Amino acid sequence: VFQGRILARRFLGQETRYEVEVKTPYRHRFPLVAREYLWVPNTCGCPPLREGGEYLLMARRHVNYERTLNRILLQDDGYARPWTPREDRLVREAARHC
């Protein structure tokens, strides 16, 4: 779970790749750097992430069977909401209990 700002969007094959500036990592099981690529397995614009927007994102790490692909994946049922101070407060409170 992290707060990120969408810098760019690019369609690659049947997937969408977002360049994201990681602003605040809340809970992560793998290291995040200041800029990451976030992959969405479709090109329909779901979830609707706009360039320049800040979002609270819950994504997972995807490593393929051969271990040649390691990326951050936001699945169709993933969590992506516009970031607000309220969202920040809710995530911080939940992190204390989880």
Q: Judge whether residue 69 has pLDDT over 80.
A: no
Residue 87: its pLDDT value, please?
82
pTM above 0.85, yes or no: no
The domains found in the chain, sorted by start residue, are 2-96 (2.40.50.120)
- Phi first, then psi, for residue 75 (nearest 5°) are -75, 170
DSSP string, the chain: -EEEEEEEEEEETTEEEEEEEEEEE-S-SS---SEEEEEES-SS--S---TT-EEEEE-EEEE-TTS--EEEE--TT-EEEE--HHHHHHHHHHHHH-
